[in-house]
Amino acid sequence: MVFNMQVLVDFSPFNEMMISLHVIQNPSHHPYRKAWAERAQEKLPKELLFTIKEWGPHFYDWMYFINIRNEFRFNEDSVEEAITMLSKVPDLSFAHMLLGEKYSMESLLKWKNSPASAPFHAFEKEVLLKTASWKRKLNDFFYDYNRYMFAEELFRITPWISRAADNFHKELKTSKIAVLNSIHPDITVSAEHIKIKKNEVYTFSFKDFPTLIIQPSTYATPHVMLCCNDDRVAIALHVAVPDSEKDNEPPEDLISLLKVLGEPTRLKILQDVLHHPYSTKQLAFKYGLTEATVSSHLKLLLSCGLAETQRRGYYVFYTGKRERLESLRTEVAQFMQQPVLDEYIYTPDLT
């Protein structure tokens, strides 16, 4: 059967910078770049590091900007060029993608003209109503981060990424399907489709998504799918960098979360709040515990992102966050998969 997908190898300096911010946001989940991220946290000015940590969670730990860059096909030669292009993205489209494409453009336009009817929390409303202001703040931040930290590292890694892109492009000409299947253990490519395993398995038919973008990166491991735009899917090619020390320790937040789940009553409370909101008083009555003991359990669930609160009149109700529980599966799988990932790191031929 004929392989009909177009495969493009596209290194993006801007996307590599976004993934570097993602790594600084969560160093312990990126073993090949953890040491670099820890050095970056020490070197960066405190206010810049605070901004990374404060803003990142609103933008899917900086990954939404990869969607914007790929959607508008910047094809930049430098980080600075991409930042200029980012400032020219139409405000409504910018807000749409910065909010994770959760709302239609039509709805955003209606809510922009009638903010009171918008089902937003405060941050989302500010992004929609003050999009131009957010663009300026983000552009200034990206320029500062590039100047203080990323430009030097980009200069260091570019020769390896360029050579990896050239080598990989040549290998694609020999056996396209076999070479694509060598990118990552969570990717399966056939003549008809590509399957990518994350929290669930995503299947992209080459009939509907005829273009596959391979974006070389020294930061992306253990992630593989970067984004999906219209008729294109973008995945990362993990490039080895000399002198990068791999950290083999399990992520600290993963250990903390597993410890929280290791207490039987707390696990049952989580099961309860995943299916129905409960107050402290209700849970205390159900389990024959003091409200102080239940509050202690709930505090730990909140600290790990497994639950959230909502006030209704005089009572605070707790609800489980199913998406955090789903991501736990991925984090455990990624850690267990690390020895296998070593075999998939692409080392360019520098001869």
Q: What separation in angstroms does the CA of 55 have from each of 51, 98, 134?
A: 6, 12, 11
Q: Give Cα 187 distance to the centre of its chain.
A: 18
User: Using one digit for the tens of pLDDT, what is the confidence trace for 70-108?
Assistant: 999 999 999 999 999 999 999 999 999 999 998 999 999
Give the model's confidence band at 17: pLDDT under 50 very low, under 70 low, under 90 confident, else very high.
very high
Rounded Cα distance between 183 and 234, Å, is 12
Q: What is the DSSP string of 113-178?
A: H-GGG----HHHHHHHHTHHHHHHHHHHHHHHHIIIIIHHHHHHHHHHHHHHHHHHHHHHTT-HHH
Other Cβ atoms within 10 Å of 75 Cβ, number: 11
User: Using one digit for the tens of pLDDT, what is the confidence trace for 188-198?
Assistant: 999 999 999 88
The answer on pLDDT for 339 being more than 80 is: no
Give the model's confidence band at 1: pLDDT under 50 very low, under 70 low, under 90 confident, else very high.
low
Give the model's confidence band at 20: pLDDT under 50 very low, under 70 low, under 90 confident, else very high.
very high
User: Using one digit for the tens of pLDDT, what is the confidence trace for 205-245?
Assistant: 999 999 999 999 999 988 898 989 888 999 999 998 776 66
Q: Give the pLDDT confidence score for residue 351 in this predicted structure.
A: 54
Q: What separation in angstroms does the CA of 173 have from each of 42, 45, 179, 185, 221?
A: 44, 46, 9, 21, 25
Kindly list the structural domains of the chain, giving each domain's residue range(s) and its CATH number in brackets, ordered by start.
6-248 (no CATH), 252-320 (1.10.10.10)
User: Using one digit for the tens of pLDDT, what is the confidence trace for 260-274?
Assistant: 999 999 999 999 999
Give the model's confidence band at 310: pLDDT under 50 very low, under 70 low, under 90 confident, else very high.
confident
What mean pLDDT value characterizes the chain?
A: 90
User: Using one digit for the tens of pLDDT, what is the confidence trace for 136-181?
Assistant: 999 999 999 999 999 999 999 999 999 999 999 999 988 899 999 9
